[in-house]
Amino acid sequence: MAKEFEVWAEKYRPKTFDEIINQESVVERVKAFAKSKNIPHMLFAGPPGTGKTTLALVLARELYGEQWRQNVLQLNASDERGIDVIRGQVKEFARTVAIGDVPFKLIILDEADAMTSDAQQALRRMMEMYASVSRFILICNYSSKIIEPIQSRCAVFRFKALDDKHVEEFVNRIVKGEKLKVTEDGIKAIVRIAEGDLRRAANILQAASALGEKITEDVVYEAASLAKPQEVRQMLELALSGKFMEARKMLEDMIIKKGLAGSDIVAEIHRQIPSLNIDDRSKIELIEKCGEIDFRISEGANELIQLESLLASFLLHTQTKGKK
């Protein structure tokens, strides 16, 4: 019987304060508010997949216990971000009295930095009017996109990207729970790709597990549709050694045969440049070229042509240095 599909990022989401990793200072402050059963409006800001929504839901469970669903309104502001939602759905919920011994309801607005300016202005007024019966938790990646009047009404909590060891700890927890077969290089590949984002790590691991019984580095990069670092490095070394046509063939295989995105290849090239055997000035010039090519691709330029241009820059770099 086929197992029902379940998103592991949600399945292994922490349920208590103690399970949240690498955010000790933030958790301690929020835990103190929860203990007193009295919290201010809050603004959680930081990179994706670092525990912002998780901490908000843990706080809700701590405050309301089994009744937390009746006392919490959770909206994703990137989908429902207009002024009509704030004046309608949010206002109706905010003005009603909480169920239980906690004197306020909780409104969690995820991705609040996607809200329109008008919606934020309406929310600002609502935070004042219903402060006695409702508390707001705004969650965003960029606090600078939240208007100042709202920021001044909130206690701001800044989350940091997770260390590799904490991402690896989380991955191993899923591996153990799902009884997966994963090689050491497979785990390292997941940690490298995740870049401190636990949600991304869980989703990559789940996608990789669907491709075969054993999860290796090759399987992980195939599941993530990303270029393998070794292949990108080999391509760059071929270009630097003057073998441009061989490097170009590898690039075409990545884009045409494997279907990799040009922007992802540029990102991997950018990561490889600091470790190349060239002088620091050359590294700076090539990193600047990566930025230019990445911008052109984002503006709609042909990926293959732009990346071939980038490879040509590596070859021209070595020839220019040789003439000096």
The domains of the chain are located at 23-158, 164-224, 229-323
Give CA–CA dist 54/17, Å, rounded: 9
pLDDT score recorded for residue 172: 92
pLDDT score recorded for residue 321: 61
Give CA–CA dist 311/297, Å, rounded: 15
3-state secondary structure of 288: helix
Give CA–CA dist 41/136, Å, rounded: 5
pLDDT score recorded for residue 232: 93
pLDDT score recorded for residue 80: 59
pLDDT digits (tens, 9 = 90+) for 158-200: 998 888 999 999 999 999 988 889 999 999 999 999 988 888 9
| Residues 6+ away with beta carbon under 8 Å from 101 | 37
Give CA–CA dist 164/197, Å, rounded: 10
Residue 99 is given by DSSP the state: S
Determine the distance from the C-alpha atom of residue 206 to the mean position of all C-alpha atoms in its chain, rounded to a whole number.
16
| Residues 6+ away with beta carbon under 8 Å from 50 | 22, 23, 159, 160, 161, 162, 196, 197, 198
| One-letter amino acid for residue 100 of the chain | G
pLDDT score recorded for residue 30: 92
pLDDT score recorded for residue 282: 87
CATH class in words for 229-323: mainly alpha
Task: Supply the CATH classification number for the domain 164-224.
Answer: 1.10.8.60
pLDDT score recorded for residue 6: 67
Ranges of the chain with pLDDT below 50 = 1-4, 324
Residue 286 is given by DSSP the state: H
pLDDT score recorded for residue 235: 93
Gyration radius of the chain's alpha carbons:
24
Beta strands per DSSP E along the chain: 42-45, 72-76, 105-110, 134-140, 155-158, 181-182, 214-215
| Residues 6+ away with beta carbon under 8 Å from 172 | 187
Which fold does the domain 23-158 belong to in CATH?
Rossmann fold (3.40.50)
Q: Are 254 and 263 in contact (CB under 8 A)?
A: no
